[in-house]
A and B are shown apart, each in its own frame.
Chain A
Amino acid sequence: MSDTLTAPPSAASGPPAGPGQRPRRVVEALWLVVPYIVSVVLAFVVGGLIIAAIGRDPFAAFESVLTTSFNTRFGTIETLHKWVPVLLCAYAFAIPLATGKFNIGAEGQLLVGATGGVALGILWSDLPMVLLLPCVLVAGALSGAVWAGIAAFLMTKFQVNEILSTVVLNFISFQLIDYVASHVWPDRGAGHPATTPVGEGALLPGIGQAPPMHTGVLLTVFLVIVIAVFMRRTSTGFEMRAVGANLRAAQVHGIRTSRLAGAGLVVGGAVAGLAGAIEVAGVHGKMLEGMQSNFLILGIIVGLMARGSMLALPFIAFGIAVLEVGAGSMQRTAQVPVEMVLIIEALILLFLLLSDIARAKIRRH
Chain B
Amino acid sequence: MENPRLEMRGIVKTFGPVTALDAVDLVVGRNEVHGLLGGNGAGKTTLMNVLYGLYRPNAGEVLLDGQPASIGSPKDAIAAGVGMVHQTFLQVDNYTVTENIVLGTDVPGPLRLDLSDAKARIRELSERFGLTVDPDAVVEDLPVGVRQRVEILKALYRGAKLLILDEPTTNLTPQEVDDLFGSMRAMVDDGMSVVLITHKIRETLSVCDRMTVMRDGRRVETIERADTDAEHLAEKMVGSTTDPGAAVDAAALGAVDAEKVEEILSSVGTTTAVAVRDLVVVNDQGHELIQGFELELREGEIVGIAGVAGNGQVELAEALAGVRPLRSGSVEVSGRSMGGLATSTWLHHGVAYVPEDRHRDGILPTASITENLVLGSQRSPQVRRRGLIDWGAAKQRAVDAIAEFSVRANGPATLVGDLSGGNIQRVILARAFARQPRMLILHNPTRGLDIGSTRFVYQQVRKATAAGCAVLLISEDLDEVIALSDRVIALYQGSRAGEWQHGSVDAYAVGRSMTGLGEARV
Interface residues of A (CB under 8 A from B): 2, 4-6, 9, 13-16, 18, 21, 24, 229, 232-235, 238-239, 241-242, 245-246, 248-256, 364-365
Check B343–A252 contact: CB distance below 8 A. Answer: yes
Residue of B nearest to A12 (CB): B391
Tell whether, in the assembled complex, residue B395 and residue A234 are in contact, meaning their CB atoms are under 8 Å apart: no
- Is B410 among interface residues, defined by CB-CB distance under 8 A? yes
- Bound CA span A254–B345, Å: 8
Asked if B353 lies at the interface with its beta carbon under 8 angstroms from chain A, I say: yes
Partner of B413, one of A13, A246, A251: A13
Contact of A5 among B343, B371, B379, B411 (CB under 8 A): B371
State whether A6 and B366 are in contact (beta carbons under 8 Å apart), knowing that A233-B391, A249-B360, A255-B344 are contacts in the complex: yes
Task: Give 9 A-B contacts (CB < 8 Å), ordered by A residue.
Answer: A2-B413, A5-B366, A21-B411, A234-B388, A238-B389, A246-B364, A252-B321, A252-B343, A255-B344
Count of residues in B whose CB is under 8 Å from the partner chain:
40
CB nearest to A4 among chain B residues:
B368
Once bound together, how far apart are the Cα atoms of A243 and B411, in whole Å? 24
Known: A241-B367, A253-B343. A233 touches B388 (CB 8 A): yes
Contact A242 B367 (CB under 8 A): yes
Which chain B residues numbered 452 to 491 have a C-beta less than 8 Å away from chain A?
A: none
Seed contacts A252-B323, A252-B362; 18 additional CB < 8 Å A-B pairs: A4-B366, A4-B368, A6-B366, A13-B391, A13-B395, A14-B413, A18-B411, A234-B388, A238-B389, A241-B367, A242-B378, A245-B365, A245-B366, A246-B363, A249-B362, A252-B355, A255-B344, A256-B342
Query: Are B367 and A365 neighbours in the complex by a CB distance under 8 Å?
Result: no
Q: Is the CB of B364 within 8 A of A5?
A: yes
Contacts of A250 on B, CB cut-off 8 Å?
364, 375
Q: Give the chain A neighbours of B323 by CB distance below 8 A.
A: 251-252
B55 at the interface (CB under 8 A from A): no
Whether A254 contacts B361 by the Cβ 8 Å rule is no
Q: Does B346 contact A (CB under 8 A)?
A: yes
Inter-subunit contact B410/A254 (CB<8 Å): no
| Contact, CB under 8 Å: B370 / A13 | yes
Nearest Cβ on chain B to A63's Cβ, whole angstroms: 40
Give CA–CA (A21, B411) in the complex, Å.
Answer: 9
Question: In this complex, what residue of B is CB-closest to A308?
Answer: B366
In the complex, how many angstroms separate the beta carbon of A114 from the nearest chain B beta carbon?
32
A245 to B: closest C-beta gap in Å: 4
**B384 touching A242, Cβ below 8 Å:** no
Please name the residue on chain A nearest to B318 by beta carbon.
Answer: A252
Contact of A249 among B342, B364, B389 (CB under 8 A): B364
The interface residues of chain B lying within 8 Å CB-to-CB of A9 are: 368, 413
Measured in the bound complex, the distance between the Cα atoms of B139 and A264 in whole Å is 46
> Given the known A-B contacts A4-B368, A234-B389, A238-B374, are A254 and B344 also in contact in the complex, defined by CB atoms under 8 Å?
yes
B367 touches A5 (CB 8 A): yes
**A-chain residues with CB within 8 Å of residue B414 when the two chains form the complex:** 15
Residue of A nearest to B402 (CB): A15
Contact between A233 and B343, CB atoms less than 8 A apart: no
Chain B residues contacting A238 (CB-CB under 8 Å) are 371, 374, 378, 389
Report Cα–Cα, A229/B388, bound state, in Å.
9
CA of A20 to CA of B219, assembled, Å: 33
CB distance from A59 to the nearest CB of B (A): 41
Within the assembled complex, what's the spacing in Å between the Cα atoms of A21 and B414?
Answer: 11
Contact for B342 among A2, A232, A254, CB less than 8 A? A254
Q: Which of B366-398 contact A (CB under 8 A)?
A: 366-368, 370-371, 374-376, 378-379, 384, 387-389, 391, 395
Q: Which residues of A contact B365 (CB under 8 A)?
A: 245-246
Q: Tell yes or no: B412 within 8 A of A by CB.
A: yes
Give complex CA distance A214, B375 in Å: 41
Most chain B beta carbons < 10 A, residue from A5, A6, A239, A365: A5
A6, A16, A242: residue with the most chain B Cβ atoms closer than 10 Å: A242
Alpha-carbon distance A254/B343, docked complex (angstroms): 5
Q: Is B347 an interface residue (CB 8 A)?
A: yes
Contacts of B415 in A (CB 8 A): 4
B387: chain A residues at CB < 8 Å are: 234
Task: Report how far A2 CA is from B345 CA in the complex, Å.
Answer: 29
Which residues of B1-52 are within 8 A (CB) of A?
16
Docked CA distance A365–B346 (Å): 43
Complex Cα distance, B148 from A176, in Å, reads 65
| Cβ-defined contact, A253 with B376, below 8 A | yes
Considering the complex, give the chain A residue whose CB is closest to the CB of B343: A254
Cα of A234 to Cα of B384 in the assembled complex, Å: 9
Chain B residues with CB under 8 A of A229: 388
Q: Are B347 and A254 in contact (CB under 8 A)?
A: yes
**Closest A residue, CB atoms, query B360:** A248
Q: Bound complex: CA of A250 vs CA of B343, how far in Å?
A: 10
Whose C-beta in chain B lies nearest to the C-beta of A10? B413
Task: From known contacts A4-B367, A5-B366, infer whether A15 and B412 are also in contact, taking CB-CB under 8 Å.
Answer: yes
- Distance in Å from the Cβ of A351 to the closest Cβ of chain B? 22
In Å, the complex CA distance between A174 and B364 comes to 40
Residues of chain B within 8 A of A252, CB atoms compared:
321, 323, 343, 353, 355, 361-362
Closest A residue, CB atoms, query B355 = A252
Which residues of A sit under 8 angstroms from B347, Cβ to Cβ? 253-254
Assess whether A245 is in contact with B364, with CB atoms less than 8 Å apart: yes
Chain B residues within 8 Å of A254, by CB? 322, 342-347, 376
Provide the bound-state CA to CA distance between A4 and B391, in Å. Answer: 12
**Closest 8 pairs (CB-CB, A-B):** A15-B411, A254-B344, A253-B376, A245-B364, A233-B388, A254-B343, A235-B378, A9-B413
B362 proximity list for chain A (CB < 8 A): 249, 252
Determine which of A24, A242, A365 lies in contact with B16 in the assembled complex, contact meaning CB atoms within 8 Å.
A365
Question: Which residues on B sit within 8 Å (CB–CB) of A251?
Answer: 323, 343
When chains A and B are docked, how far (Å) is the Cα of A250 from the Cα of B370?
Answer: 15
Say yes or no: A245 contacts B413, CB within 8 Å: no
- For the complex, give the distance between the alpha carbons of A234 and B386 in Å: 10
Q: Considering only CB atoms, which chain B residue lies closest to A25 in the complex?
A: B413
Distance from A249 Cβ to chain B, minimum over Cβ atoms (Å): 6
Contact A14 B411 (CB under 8 A): yes
Name the distance in Å between A345's Cβ and chain B's nearest Cβ: 26
A248 to B362 alpha-carbon distance, docked (Å): 8
Complex interface bits, B302-343 against A, C-beta within 8 A gives 1, otherwise 0: 000000000000000000011100000000000000000011
Partner of A4, one of B16, B344, B371: B371
